Amino acid sequence: MAVAVNASLYAVLGYFTYFGIFVGGVRFWPAVIVPGVFSLVFDCVVGGLGAAIGIFVSDVIIHGDPFLSLTVGVPANFIGFYIIGRFASSRSRSGILLGVIAFPIALSILMISLYVYGLTDISSSITGIALSLACPATYFLASRYLRGWENYILAAIAGLGVGSLIIGLGVWGYSQLFVMPKILGINAPLPLYMSIVITAWTFLSEIPFLIFLVPPIVKAVGRVFPWLGVAR
């Protein structure tokens, strides 16, 4: 039941907040708050499955390519929100924090290496490095204002980071093999550097919604439906 409600709300809100804004075929997507809330109120499976089903329905309605959704959007959403729900409920944050710190170091090294070997341009390398720095910066800034939500903030960064990377690489890979839906405005295979741009766009455009809107909504749900046992 919770999975169905999650998926339905995600698809409906995604449709009504569709503004036609795309970067590399990826929409501006404030609807992430829905599975974000369900991942916390219920659990990682409810959050992940609802997100996967909801994004599939939304994708089919908006761009009409179910295979693109099944190969990119569905796995990215399931894995991303599963991570959020799983890590947010963890009592230990040291491992997650280590990952959030290690990720920007690894990504920065990767960006520099790609640029040195001529596989990407300078602007994309700078974008990738900026994204890597945004992860720890987001945690340290947000945790100052959202006391008691540190685990969730780390989980949101980790989950959305992984999901964004899957989307960035997935859309790039899909464009090499298949024709993209016309509505996305992509008429040729995307260059490799676009995977970095898409990853950065997905993460940076969605993380504010997850961090600043999900916590107050979860608090409100806990007050209105106390029997759900939302301890926040």
CA atoms of 108 and 69, how far apart (whole Å): 29
Share of the chain above pLDDT 70, in %: 94
Identify which has the larger pLDDT, 63 or 24: 63
Per-residue pLDDT of 118-146, as tens digits, reads 777 787 778 777 777 777 777 777 777 88
CA atoms of 96 and 153, how far apart (whole Å): 10
Closest Cα to residue 7, out of 154, 42, 231? 42
Name 22's bridge partners. Answer: 27
* Band (89; pLDDT cuts 50, 70, 90): confident
Per-residue pLDDT of 198-230, as tens digits, reads 988 899 889 999 999 999 999 999 888 887 766
Asked if the 2-92+149-228 domain carries CATH number 1.10.1760.20, the reply is yes
CA atoms of 197 and 168, how far apart (whole Å): 8
Flag whether the pTM goes above 0.85: yes
Q: Where are the domains of the chain?
A: 2-92+149-228
Query: What is the end-to-end Cα distance of the chain in Å, rounded?
Result: 23
Beta strands, E only, the chain: 22-23, 26-27
